[in-house]
Amino acid sequence: MVKRGYRKERLDRGIKARSDDIFAIASWRETLYLILPRAAVIVSLLAFPLLKDVLGHYWQNVMLITCTIALLALSWDLLASVGLVSLGQALFFGVGAYLAGFLSRTFGWTPLLTIPASTVAGALLCTAILFPVLRLRGIYFGLITFALPLLMMRMIEATKILGGTEGLSGLPPLPDITFELYLVITAALVCAFGFKRLMDTDYGLVLRAIRDNDRSVLASGINIQWYKAQAVFIAALPGTFAGAFLTHHYQFVGMPAFALDFSILPLTSVVIGGAGTFAGAVLGAFILVPLSEVLRAFGTLRVVIYCSFLIIFTIGLPEGIFRFIERKYHQFERVVPLEEVRA
Amino acid sequence: MRTDPILRVCNLSKRFGGVNAVYDVSFYLYEGETLGIIGPNGSGKSTLINLITGFVKPDSGKVYFRGRDITGITPDKAVSLGIARSFQLVRPFYNMAVYKNLVIPLYSPRVRKLKGGKYGDRDEVAIHLLEEVGFERDSQVPFKTAGTLPHGYMKRLELARCLSLQPEVVILDELFSGMSMSEIASMLPLLEKINREEGRTLIMVEHRLRELFRVVGKVIVLNFGMKIAEGTPAEVMEVEEVRKAYLGSEVEAGA
Amino acid sequence: MELVNVLVFGLVNSAVLALTAMGFSLTFGLSGVANFAHGGLYLLAGYTSWILANRLNLPFAVSAVLAVILAALLGALIYRLVLMPVRGIVLSEVIATFAVGVAILELFRWMGFVTYEFNLRPFVKGSVEIAGVAVDYQRILIIGIGLVLAAGLWYFTRRTRIGLALRGMAQDEYTALSVGIESDWAAALSLALGAGLAAVAALSILPLGIISINIGYDVLLIALAVTVLGGLESTTGLVAGAFILGYAMTFTSTYLGPQWMEAVYMAAIVLVLAVKPSGLFGKSKELEERV
Amino acid sequence: MKRLLLAARFIFLAAVLVIGAAACGGKDEKKAAPIVIGVPTALGSIEGADSLRAVQLAVEEINAKGGVSVKGEKRPLAVVSIDTREHEPGIPVTDALAAVDKLIAEKKPNAILVGAFRSEVLLSSMDLVAKHKIPYITTIAMTPDFQKKVKEDYNKYKYMFRMCLNAPYLVNYLSRTMGFVGKEFNFKKAYIIVQDVLWAKGTGSGLEKWLKDNGWEVVGFDAYPTGASDFSSSLGKAKAGGAQVIVPIFDMPQSGILLKQARAMKVPALMAGFISPAAPGSAWKTFEGEVEGLVNLLFEIGPMPVKAVPRSVQFHESYTKKYGQEMGAKLSGHGPGPSYDAVYVLAGAIEKAGTLEADALAAAIKATDMEGVIGRIKFSDDHQVVYDVNPKEAAIGAVFQWKAPGVRVPVFPETAAEGKIELPPYMKN
Show me where the domains of chain C are located: 2-290
Find the residue in C nearest to A80 (Cα): C91
Whether C and B touch (3+ CB pairs < 8 Å), yes or no? yes
User: CA of B86: how far to CAs of A137, C116, C238, C288, D139, in Å?
Assistant: 24, 66, 40, 16, 71
Chain D residue closest to A251 (CA)?
D124
Q: pLDDT averaged over chain B? A: 83
Contact status of D276 with chain C (Cβ, < 8 Å) = yes
Rounded CA Rg of chain C: 19
pLDDT tens digits, C66-76 = 999 999 999 99
Q: Which has more pLDDT, D38 or D131?
A: D38
ipTM of the prediction greater than 0.95, yes or no: no
Higher pLDDT, C18 or D304: C18
Q: Do B108 and A222 touch (CB under 8 A)?
A: yes
pLDDT band of residue B255 (cuts 50, 70, 90) is: very low
In this predicted structure, what is the pLDDT of residue B127?
Answer: 83
Residues D132-142, mean pLDDT to the nearest whole number: 90
**Higher per-residue confidence, C263 vs B249:** C263
pLDDT of D38 over the 90 cut: yes
pLDDT averaged over chain A?
Answer: 84
What CATH architecture does domain B7-254 belong to? 3-Layer(aba) Sandwich (3.40)
Could you tell me the domains of chain D? 32-164+309-378 (3.40.50.2300), 168-298+397-428 (3.40.50.2300)
| Per-residue model confidence as pLDDT tens digits over A295-341 | 877 877 888 888 888 888 888 888 888 888 888 887 776 677 766 54
CB neighbours of C289 closer than 8 A, spacing ≥ 6? none
Q: Which of D6, D19, D85, D102 to mutate to test the interface with A (most CBs of A within 10 A)?
A: D102
Which of A115-124, A266-275, B25-34, C85-94 shows the lowest mean pLDDT across its residues? C85-94
Q: Nearest chain C residue to D201 by CA: give it.
A: C259
| pLDDT level of residue D52 (50, 70, 90 thresholds) | very high
D201-225 exposure pattern, b = at least 16 Cβ within 10 A, e = fewer: bbbbbbbbebbeeeebebbbbbbbb
CB D394 within 8 Å of CB D374: no
pLDDT of res. D113: 92
Mean pLDDT, rounded, for D193-205: 87
Residue B254 vs residue A126, higher pLDDT: A126
List all residues 6 or more positions away from C206 whose beta carbon is below 8 Å from its beta carbon. Answer: C46, C120, C215
pLDDT of residue D10: 55
pLDDT band at residue C49 using 50, 70 and 90 as cut-offs: very high
Q: Which of A15-19, A213-217, B172-176, C203-207 has the lowest mean pLDDT?
A: A15-19
- In the stretch 218-237 of chain B, residues with CB closer than 8 A to chain A read none
Looking at residues C45-63, what average pLDDT do you find? 91
Give the pLDDT mean for A43-63.
80
Q: What is the DSSP string of C11-76?
A: HHHHHHHHHHHHHHHHHHHHH----TTHHHHHHHHHHHHHHHHHTS---HHHHHHHHHHHHHHHHH
Mean pLDDT of chain D: 86
pLDDT of residue B137: 65
List, for residues C133-168, the tens digit of each pLDDT value: 888 889 999 999 999 999 988 888 777 777 777 776
Q: Which pLDDT belongs to residue A313? A: 85
Nearest CB neighbour to C266, from listed A133, A137, A151: A151
Name the residue ranges covered by the structural domains of chain B. 7-254
pLDDT, averaged across chain C: 84
- Please report which confidence band the pLDDT of residue A103 belongs to, taking 50, 70 and 90 as the band edges: very high
The tens digit of pLDDT for each residue in A174-230 reads 888 889 999 999 999 999 999 999 998 889 989 988 888 878 888 888 898 899 999
Q: What is the pLDDT at residue D127?
A: 82
Kindly indicate the confidence band of residue B253, based on its pLDDT and cuts at 50, 70 and 90.
very low
Confidence (pLDDT) at C17: 93
pLDDT band at D228 (very low <50, low <70, confident <90, very high): confident
Whether chain C has a CB inside 8 Å of the CB on D334: the answer is no
- Pseudo-torsion of CA D175, D176, D182, D187, nearest 10°? -30
pLDDT at D1 over 60: no
Chain A residues with beta carbon closer than 8 angstroms to that of B112: none
Q: How do the domains of chain A map onto residue ranges?
A: 2-342
pLDDT of residue C285: 45
Q: Which of C263-272, D232-241, D344-353 has the lowest mean pLDDT?
A: C263-272
Give the count of Cβ contacts less than 8 A between chain B and C.
6
The Cα D361–Cα D339 span in angstroms is 18
pLDDT of residue A122: 95
| CATH code that applies to domain A2-342 | 1.10.3470
Cβ atoms within 10 A of the Cβ of C287, count?
15
Tell me the shortest Cα–Cα distance from D278 to chain C, in angstroms: 8
Residues B73-92: tens digit of each pLDDT:
888 889 999 899 988 888 88
Distance from CA of A185 to the nearest CA of D (A): 18
Chain C contact partners (≥3 CB pairs within 8 A): A, B, D
Cα-based distances in Å from C69 to A212, C38, C75, C217, D6: 43, 15, 10, 22, 28
Chain A residues within an 8 Å CB radius of B96 = 20, 205, 208-209, 212
**What residue in B sits closest to C289 (Cα-Cα)?**
B56
Closest CA to D344 of D36, D50, D49, D61: D61
The per-residue pLDDT for C178 is 59
Q: Is B138 in the A-facing interface, judged by CB distances under 8 Å?
A: no
The mean pLDDT of D264-276, rounded to a whole number, is: 90
Nearest to B162 by CA among B173, B176, B152, B146: B173
* Level-2 CATH architecture, domain C2-290: Orthogonal Bundle (1.10)
Mean pLDDT across D254-269:
89
Q: Is D90 on the interface with C (CB under 8 A)?
A: yes
pLDDT on residue D30: 44
DSSP string, B63-120: EEETTEE-TT--HHHHHHHTEEE--SS----TTSBHHHHHHHHHTSHHHHHHH---TT
D125 pLDDT higher than 90: no
Which candidate, C200, C186, C160, places its Cα nearest to that of C72?
A: C200
